[in-house]
Amino acid sequence: MSENIIAGRNSVAEALRSGRPVSKLLVQDGAKGGSLGEILASAREKNIALEYVKAEKLNKLVPGIRHQGIAALVAPIAFQTLDDVFAKAAEAGEDPFILLLDELQDPQNVGALIRTADAAGVHGVLLPKRRSCPLNTVVAKISAGAVEYVPVVQIGNIAQTIEELQQRGCWVVGADMDGEAYYDVNFAGPLVLVIGAEGKGLGRLVKQKCDTIASIPMQGGVASLNASAAGAVLMYEAVRQRHKAGR
């Protein structure tokens, strides 16, 4: 379809704020309170059509999503390029900070990682075209609207992309359980952080292509963190080191 549906007040508000094309808002009959008034006022200012619908229609359009009485028909996410990501870093006067997701399938993890990437100042998120979660309404909802602000790049072969990033001066750190403790790993400078898929972790070839592997020591009975939690720990270690280094 030519349009996507996003739902939830944060997601819709961020879509409006970011300037993403919105063709129509679907508002639940009787919905009110919170940020809804501001959202509707913004939509009217932008001459966006409003359609009032029964809760059942929203439930059917976005099954399983807590829509909070509102959904929007929006243009699909505009994917960007690696050049765009490097340009964003250069414009900010910062070393590139890139997150590469190695075939993650769970929209909850992808959405949470994009949200953390936005908060941590990541310049771009790379997603393989194949065997990756689509940027659907669940991802948009979990990301709390961050998907509107973090450049997302669709890539082909992951190993070849890693090689290209290395040629462009980036240090590539993969997250895996058998790597070096993350607090002993260098995350400063031009960085690509690679997070592996749920369950299987990094692909064998992808792991081989990384410059180093970082692990998160586990002190309890559980063997590992999920992808989004591990990614958050490592992204903020990168933030700490980059801040300390003035990058």
Q: Where are the beta strands (DSSP E) in the chain?
A: 4-7, 22-28, 49-53, 70-74, 97-102, 124-128, 152-155, 171-181, 191-196, 212-215
Are residues 29 and 55 in contact, defined by beta-carbon separation less than 8 angstroms?
yes
**Is 26 in a helix, a strand, or coil?**
strand
pTM of the model: 0.78
Give the chain's domains with CATH numbers.
4-74 (3.30.1330.30), 82-245 (3.40.1280.10)
**Is 27 in a helix, a strand, or coil?**
strand
- The pLDDT value given to residue 201: 81
> What is the helix (H) or strand (E) element at residue 60, kind and residue range?
helix 55-61
Q: For residue 18, what are the CA distances in angstroms to 10, 42, 67?
A: 12, 12, 20
Tokens at residue 24, please? 């129509």
Q: Specify which residues 27 forms β-bridges with.
A: 52, 70
CB neighbours (10 Å) of residue 18?
11
- The pLDDT value given to residue 234: 97
Q: Where are the alpha helices (DSSP H) in 121-189?
A: 137-142, 158-167
> What does the pLDDT profile of the chain (247 residues) look like in tens digits?
345 888 999 989 988 988 888 888 999 999 888 899 999 999 999 989 899 999 999 999 888 888 999 999 987 777 899 999 999 999 999 999 999 999 888 888 999 999 999 999 999 999 988 777 777 777 877 887 788 889 999 898 999 999 999 999 999 999 998 899 999 999 999 999 999 887 778 889 999 999 999 999 988 877 778 899 999 999 999 999 999 887 6
**Is 119 in a helix, a strand, or coil?**
helix
Burial class (CB in 10 A: 0-12, 13-18, 19+), 80: middle
- The pLDDT value given to residue 105: 83
Tokens at residue 238, please? 């990168």
At a CB cut-off of 8 Å and minimum separation 6, what does 165 contact? Answer: 82, 98, 172, 192
- The pLDDT value given to residue 57: 92
* CA gap 190, 1 in Å, rounded: 38
The DSSP letter of residue 148 is G
